[in-house]
Amino acid sequence: MKVEELAVTGAFVFTPDVYPDHRGSFVSPFQQRAFASAKGAPFLPVAQTNHSVSRRGVVRGIHYTVTPPGTTKYVYCAAGEAIDIVVDIRVGSPTYGKWDAVRVNPRDFRAVYFPVGVGHAFVALADDTVMSYMLTSAYVPEYEKAISVFDPDLGLPIPGDIEPIVSERDSVGPRLAEAAEAGLLPDYQECRAIEERLLRSAS
């Protein structure tokens, strides 16, 4: 498995080997040894797994979890294709306001690791796109917040040849600067401390 750090501090993309044969293919999108080498933690303590299914043009995000409690995500595309986007919204982070994007699909099976406190968005490029998530804490609706994926100051890579389909909640999300001014964003140092505790909780 190939491991690369993304432009957002603490975020990684994992690219596994895919083994095709006359029946189809076999792949392991998550491998503990590779994860441990990247994060310096023995294990990813998964509390919940999620799937989302989206039609072409669906844009989800930018979503983040209130910190504390915070959560980390390990995300890959099990069907279809998407642009998966990690956005650094952690106040005080050396890469605050930066983002990176990874094309994900079930051919390469790239997986993206989202550290505590960062924002997550994706754009579905095909009908029936399935995004699979592993999370280190349970999903609690009142802890989940959103920032506008259309914030012009961020300039996220939403293709011009799609008509974005967004939820009502995502359509009214504030810009990053507005969320910062309102004190709604997570603190970088606190996020790092929580992430370290989460990743070492299973050791």
Catalytic residue among 63, 74, 113, 188: 63
Residue whose entry in the numeric block shows the structure tokens 């924002």: 119
Q: Is residue 133 among the annotated active site residues?
A: yes
Catalytic residue among 64, 76, 133, 188: 133
Q: Is residue 120 among the annotated active site residues?
A: no
The answer for residues whose C-beta is within 8 angstroms of residue 171's C-beta and 6 or more apart is: none
Residue whose entry in the numeric block shows the structure tokens 């039609």: 55
Residue whose entry in the numeric block shows the structure tokens 């939403």: 158
Task: Please state the length of the chain.
Answer: 203
Residue whose entry in the numeric block shows the structure tokens 């990176």: 100
Give the tokens for residue 139: 């999903």
Going by their DSSP bridges, the two strands 12-15 and 129-135 should be labelled as: unpaired
Query: ∠ at Cα 119 (117, 121), nearest 5°?
Result: 155
Active-site amino acid positions = 63, 133
